Structure 1
Amino acid sequence: MIFGIICSAVAGAFISVQAAVNAKMNTNLGAWATTVLVFIVGLVGSIIPLVLFGGNIAGLRDLSPIYWLGGLLGVGVVYCVMRSIQILGPTLSVSLILVSQLIWALVVDLYGAFGMPQITLSAGQIGGLTILLVGVILFKQSQTAAIAKQAVNEATS
């Protein structure tokens, strides 16, 4: 369980940093060129551990075609995260992404989609989502107020 928690924390850090880097690359390369570059570098970065640690590439022929969509979803993730950060800024964008991820993960759990164990919806889950949504709203309002205050301070100095 500890390893899962560590991997989750590292993934969160990687997603946030990657998104900011990709958004900056996008200003020089454009959205689709950046997305292609990210996946080319990712392919090379994936082949190296595959060669070193092995994997079951032969299992691809037994894989349901629906799971091949994972790569296409990854393209959508990179593109949408990069664009949302450019439009909304890193903190609001990542906050909304986290809320969306949690909602969609809950849908997957509720329906047992993609072979995942099915769970039932609880009041605690609804409460947790509500608190998370309220937190994002409060965060954004606080951020907007801080930006306005900073603009006023800069204008008067």
Structure 2
Amino acid sequence: MRGILFAISGGFFLTLQSVANARISDGIGTWQAATVTQMTGFIVALLITFALRDRTFQEMRHVKPLYLSGGALAAAVLFSNITAVHLMGVTLTISLFLIAQLGLALLIDWNGWFGMIKRRLQLPQVIGILLMVGGVLILKL
């Protein structure tokens, strides 16, 4: 149940962040908005880490370099998201982001990439993605 609540919260936060970033970028530019977002996210995460007195961040030196690329990927996500919101609006942007995320997640699970457990791709998953694509097409009308 907690996982569901965190996932729903994350979806809400992603949508709110998309709108905020688009508004910020109107005044200062897209890459600048991505920079501000990354910087404030870093500061908040660091403050929470210190507030929780969590010292495991010292273990970061053991993280594989491939996985440290997450921050760089986040910059690309922010730029893509901000640009898409300006071009298509929030609803279509978030819809397409979700389809792209689910599609790649299915590929990762199916192939066992990044050390994930391989999972069989089943017909209901394919139908679910196709229904989402159909939903976006209906939204676009």
TM-score relative to the length of structure 2:
0.95
Match of 2:49 in 1: 50
SS at match of 1:118: coil
Structure 1 unaligned regions, length at least 5: 142-157
Taking only aligned residues, the RMSD between alpha carbons, in angstroms, comes to: 1.0
CA distance in 1, matches of 2:67, 2:94: 26
Match of 1:14 in 2: 13
| 1:6-155 → structure 2 map (5 Å cutoff) | 6-53=5-52, 54-141=54-141
- Pick the structure with greater CA Rg: 1
CA distance in 1, matches of 2:66, 2:136: 33
CA distance in 2, matches of 1:7, 1:55: 23
Name the count of aligned residue pairs.
140
CA distance in 1, matches of 2:48, 2:108: 29
Structure 2 unaligned regions, length at least 5: none
Q: CA deviation at 1:55?
A: 4.3
Where has structure 1 moved over 3 Å in runs of 4 or more? none
Identity of aligned residues (%): 27
SS at match of 1:119: coil
TM-score relative to the length of structure 1:
0.86
More displaced, 116-125 or 51-60? 51-60
Q: CA deviation at 1:40?
A: 1.1
Instruction: Give CA-to-partner distance per residue, 1:87-128, whole Å, 9 cap, x none.
Output: 001111111111101101111111112222110111111111
